[in-house]
Amino acid sequence: MARISRQGFQSSGAAPEDLRISMDLQKWRICVYVRLSREDERNISRKGGPESQPQSESIMNQKSILRSWIEDYFEPGSYEIAGYFEDDGLTGTDDEREGFMRMVGTIERGEANCVVVKTLSRAFRNYSDQGYYLEEFFPSRNVRFISTMDSFVDTYMDSEAIYNLDVPMYGLLNDRFAAATSRSVRRTFDDKRSKGKFIGAFPPYGFLKDPEDKNHLILDPDTVPVKLQMKDWLLHEGLSLGAVARRLNAMGVPNPARYKQMKGWKYCNPHARGGQGLWCAATVKNVLLTQMNLGHMVQGRQRVMSYKIHDRITVPESSWFVVENMHEATFTQEDYTALCALFERKTRASDSRGTVHKFAGLLKCGCCGRAMHRSHVKNHIYYKCETRKNKGPAACQVKSIREDRLERAVLGAIQGQMKQVESLETVIEEAGKNSDAKDSINRLEKLFLDKERELERMQNVFDCLYEDWKFGEVSEKEYRRMRERCETKMDQLKAAAEKIREEADNCRKQVSEENPLFESLLQYGNIKELSRSVLLSLIDVIYVHGAYKITIKFKFEDELLRIARATEGSLDKRTADK
């Protein structure tokens, strides 16, 4: 390699001849550290092929450059390479990089006494870390540090070099560059998240990246059946989360982390223990209880604390990026709602098979409000109030209710509700044909259009007002006063228009034969026996007042009441005609 003057050293990476030294007293055991950041990888991929990629930025070429530099800088036989340490695709702001930490371990064990890097930024993008290692860690262990390019540093040849103004200045610039890059990348990612574009490295369990668009997800035909089976076990067989996990493990189904690895993806779960690829209750819940299964894109649930501190923290749900209908759904809305209701209730398995009894989490004492507990007495199953059992009859008046009586009462109540739904559906069908209902909808639509036109006129006034001020036709004080009045009026019009639109939409639903509430309820019209999935879908809570008295709060009763009131005129007319 040709040798050049010190002035040309920074751009070429060659060692100046006057810096060659003799190593008669000791042998340098050199750690060569190289790093390629994510930004470097993106730059390489944008350049195209190997002919156009920035060669000096790749891991292989960094090693080649440093190897040649060392051969030219050191006398033959005066050194040996203790090891090459690399971090591929990692930011320099993180001092917990695997390759970097292995190098630190090598130094601490006394196996190396020299570190060579291409530039300071390859080793450090964190200003405080640079100061710590250059001013404390390396000197205290008699380790020589060499940065070959940009700001040339060799602490053996010039131990005061690290205190020169240009070294901390480079460190500060590298730190600020990392901060600016972090903000830019975060803005870019947030923009993609807000548009429903998937930006994760690995798709969630049950999905694959679309081969034609990496930011779009498609269903994974290998794992969707597993998710559907888990859903059925929970809703229809009444299994607990733990029982579902045990059944999957017995069937040899790999958990999400192991499945990704089996696909050949470079995935590592930092929270996994043992690496056996086994399911647990928490994993089952995480796979099922996500709006991704409804076809919605959900991202931004976690974030790193800062560009320097890479610990991940949980983001409040209100700050998540949720964009609806971005891919094909795995579950129906009804099934997903039933799963959510299931997970909200505190339940435990009632037998060795892990089955949860059908009333688990639904029964409460009508006197004290505590949960009712299941127990066997002779040939019958009872649900008893724990308050009365533990504190005596003075604390609670409700004793117990037998399970078979409870089932008959609940089944009869559901059948009665279904008859009311069927009757109300007939009324709604007639209401849809009723001119009064249609007139009401038409009136609301006309009122909405009137508000929209008024809002448009006010917007034109607002625009003209600005022009009048710019051309000096009104004073700034008058402009500000009139602008404030316009803005207030426009906000009022927007709120009024939105309220009218919602009222019109509700009116359409209430007189529509395709009301989603009826579609979901009428499937239980011929119900003959109870199951846990039916109870979770229809019932919010059952209050037990005694051996023969219960109160049931149905999930849909408020909506039915609103619909009944909306169609009250049609019902009265139908009764009078008969």
Residues 162-184 pLDDT 10s: 666 555 565 566 566 556 666 66
Q: Give pLDDT, residue 105.
A: 92
Q: Give pLDDT, residue 24.
A: 43
16 token code pair: 């100046």
Q: Which of 39-43, 194-198, 476-480 is least confident?
A: 39-43
pLDDT at 374 over 70: yes
pLDDT at 567 over 70: no
At which residue do the structure tokens 């199953």 appear?
381
Q: Give pLDDT, residue 29.
A: 93
Q: Give pLDDT, residue 18.
A: 40
The burial class, CB within 10 Å (0-12 / 13-18 / 19+), for 545 is: middle
pLDDT at 186 over 80: no
Q: Give pLDDT, residue 572.
A: 47
CB neighbourhood size of 328 (10 A): 11
**DSSP E strand stretches across 335-471:** 363-365, 372-377, 380-385, 400-402
pLDDT at 39 over 60: no
Tell me the pLDDT band of 47, cut-offs 50, 70 and 90.
Answer: very low
Q: Are 539 and 553 in contact (CB under 8 A)?
A: yes
pLDDT at 331 over 90: yes
Phi and psi, residue 412, nearest 5°:
-65, -40
Tell me the pLDDT band of 112, cut-offs 50, 70 and 90.
Answer: very high
pLDDT tens track for 195-207? 899 988 889 999 9
**Secondary structure tally for the chain: helices H, strands E:** 21, 17
418 token code pair: 């279904």
Q: Give pLDDT, residue 340.
A: 85
CA dihedral for 533, 534, 535, 536, sign (positive or negative): positive
pLDDT at 14 over 90: no
Helices (H), 310-402: 333-344, 386-391
Q: Give pLDDT, residue 174.
A: 56
11 token code pair: 């751009």
Residue 277 to residue 258: CA distance in whole angstroms: 5
* Residues β-bridged to residue 73: none
At which residue do the structure tokens 């051996």 appear?
547
Most confident of the following: 23-37, 275-289, 442-456: 275-289
Q: Give pLDDT, residue 125.
A: 65
Q: What is the mean pLDDT of the chain?
A: 76
pLDDT at 188 over 80: no
The upper half-sphere exposure of residue 184, i.e. CA atoms within 13 Å in the direction of its Cβ, equals 7
Tell me the pLDDT band of 227, cut-offs 50, 70 and 90.
Answer: very high
Find the mean pLDDT for residues 468-488.
79
Tell how strand 312-314 and strand 302-304 pair up: antiparallel
Integer-rounded Cα radius of gyration of the chain: 35
User: Does domain 207-344 sit in CATH 3.40.630.30?
Assistant: no
At which residue do the structure tokens 């000197």 appear?
139
pLDDT tens track for 58-78? 788 888 888 988 998 898 888
Neighbour-count burial for 481-513, b at 16+ CB within 10 Å, e otherwise: ebeeebeeebeebeebbeebbeebeebbbbbee
The residue with greater pLDDT, 441 or 20, is 441
Q: Give pLDDT, residue 483.
A: 81
The residue with greater pLDDT, 103 or 504, is 103
Q: Give pLDDT, residue 342.
A: 79
Q: Are 312 and 303 in contact (CB under 8 A)?
A: yes
Find the mean pLDDT for residues 498-524.
64
Q: Give pLDDT, residue 56.
A: 38
Phi and psi, residue 207, nearest 5°:
-130, 160
Got the DSSP string for 80-120?
Answer: EEEEEEEEES--TT-TT-HHHHHHHHHHHTTS-SEEEES-H
pLDDT at 107 over 70: yes
Tell me the pLDDT band of 519, cut-offs 50, 70 and 90.
Answer: low
Q: Give pLDDT, residue 83.
A: 92
pLDDT at 9 over 50: no
pLDDT tens track for 117-127? 988 777 876 66
Find the mean pLDDT for residues 5-27.
42
Q: Give pLDDT, residue 209.
A: 92
508 token code pair: 């359409």
Q: Which of 125-129, 300-304, 505-509 is least confident?
A: 505-509
The burial class, CB within 10 Å (0-12 / 13-18 / 19+), for 438 is: middle
pLDDT at 43 over 80: no
Q: Are 374 and 517 in contact (CB under 8 A)?
A: no
Phi and psi, residue 125, nearest 5°:
-120, 5
182 token code pair: 């972090």
> Which CATH number is associated with domain 6-179?
3.40.50.1390
Q: Which of 213-217, 302-306, 314-318 is least confident?
A: 302-306
Q: Give pLDDT, residue 149.
A: 78
Tell me the pLDDT band of 31, cut-offs 50, 70 and 90.
Answer: very high
Q: Which of 72-81, 437-446, 514-523 is least confident?
A: 514-523
pLDDT tens track for 385-440? 888 777 777 778 887 888 888 888 888 888 888 777 766 666 555 544 444 556 66
pLDDT at 441 over 60: yes
The residue with greater pLDDT, 230 or 374, is 230
pLDDT at 533 over 80: no
Phi and psi, residue 77, nearest 5°:
85, -5
Q: Are 132 and 124 in contact (CB under 8 A)?
A: no
Tell me the pLDDT band of 148, cut-offs 50, 70 and 90.
Answer: confident
Phi and psi, residue 88, nearest 5°:
-105, 120
- DSSP state for residue 291 in the 8-state scheme: G
Residue 388 to residue 544: CA distance in whole angstroms: 13
**Percent of residues, the chain, with pLDDT higher than 70:** 70
Find the mean pLDDT for residues 543-558.
83
Q: Give pLDDT, residue 325.
A: 92
Q: Which of 10-19, 35-44, 119-128, 406-415 is least confident?
A: 10-19
pLDDT tens track for 48-60? 443 434 433 578 8
